[in-house]
Amino acid sequence: MTDEMILANATLVLPGETVTGSLRVVDGTIAEIAQGARVPAGAVDCGGDMLAPGLVELHTDNLERHIQPRPKVDWPHAAAILAHDAELASTGITTVFDAMRVGSIPSGAGRYLRYARSLSRELWQLREAEALKISHFLHLRAEVCSETLVEELNEFTPGDRVGLVSLMDHTPGQRQFRDMAKLETYMKGRNAMDDDTFLQHVSHLRMLRDRNGDRHEAETVKAAARLGSVLASHDDTTPEQVALSAGHGIRLAEFPTTIEAAEACHAHGIKVIMGAPNLIRGRSHSGNVAAQDLAERGLLDILSSDYVPSALLFSAVRLGEIWGDLARGLATVTRTPAHAVGLHDRGEIAPGLRADLIRFRMREGVPALQSVWSRGQRVA
């Protein structure tokens, strides 16, 4: 039987404009767009609410937060995955690249162990059982300052839906943690480190970077090519670091920390991703460049919810206000991220594309979601 739905009398957020109209969805695909406020018999009357593409999330730590809700607490993984999936659906995210760290440190102070391969298998088991509400891909965060990165990357194959691989370098004293005082506060607060343990941790990380860093970078670039994944950089700070990223073939830059780095990214044709919480709060929690400063300079291309899933839609609407163009703001969380990772079947409202859709209205300056559909099926 044909599964058909009409969403009428909506403010459609189309590429480049918003118009009053309706959508006809057939078997999970957008079949037709019509303009006007008419509500045909049997249609859902959206009452003028915004109807936009489902959100596309390229970088979120949310699954890790569900797996480990507190330090040293390992939550049952199936329950964590299902809760993560449902939470994202409830915020309007219909496609997610689940961030999982590869590259572990099983020795020394501040050690952390591998988990990505086993967790991704559990994720795909639930997907195959049709237990998930939204579309999932993997984002492997390759930590070059580690001991086991190459082994862990080699555990993944081109069939594992690894859509994104990012080069991460958290060596103390550079990139995200140029300010050692902020790193010390962060590590002591998160891991209950004393002074001696923190200094041992810093020394160990620097030793690992000196010993493994260059080799790990090279092997990560090879792994991304083998897996058919888009390659991203992370926390670029200087034009020199951006030039190195460009030399690796990187076309996405996650959270550049300075205006100079963001300018260099655009000069090299690299799209800039910034955190939605940064935009909403008006500043970076690490003391780096504010997302709004980049937006006002035309240097922000994509938003990521990072650690607050509900911030994604809110921040896109806020960008629309900053730019005076709601369609442009929403494109940073729909069409642009989808196309950046090679997904051309979603991210905009157009005939023939997936019916991943969100309906929302504004309440006191905040978007309030009313409904979410993934491939035409209501999931929130």
Strand partners, 362: 367
Entry pTM: 0.91
Whichever domain contains 204, its CATH number is: 3.20.20.140
Sheet of 252-254: strands edge to edge?
55-60, 93-102, 135-143, 162-168, 230-234, 252-254, 271-275, 302-304
> Is 354 inside any structural domain?
no
**Which range marks the domain in which residue 283 is found?**
55-344
Backbone angles phi, psi at 56, to 5 degrees: -115, 115
> Is 202 inside any structural domain?
yes
Q: Regarding beta strands 357-363 and 366-374, do their DSSP bridges make them parallel or antiparallel, or are they unpaired?
A: antiparallel
> Is 351 inside any structural domain?
no
> Is 378 inside any structural domain?
no
Structural domain total, the chain: 1
Average pLDDT per consecutive 10 residues, the chain (380 residues; last block may be shorter): 92 96 98 97 97 97 92 92 98 98 77 89 98 98 90 96 92 62 58 67 72 89 97 95 95 96 98 97 84 97 96 98 97 98 98 98 96 98
> Is 173 inside any structural domain?
yes
Q: Give the distance from CA 165 to its chain's centroid.
A: 12
Instruction: Label residue 358 left, alpha or beta by phi (over 0 means left) and psi (-120 to 50 means alpha).
Output: beta
Residue pair 330/52 in contact (Cβ under 8 Å)? The answer is yes
| Radius of gyration from C-alpha coordinates of the chain | 21
> Is 28 inside any structural domain?
no
How far, in Å, are 180, 220, 288, 360 from residue 237 at the CA level? 15, 20, 9, 37
> Is 370 inside any structural domain?
no
Residue 205 is predicted with a pLDDT of 73
> Is 30 inside any structural domain?
no
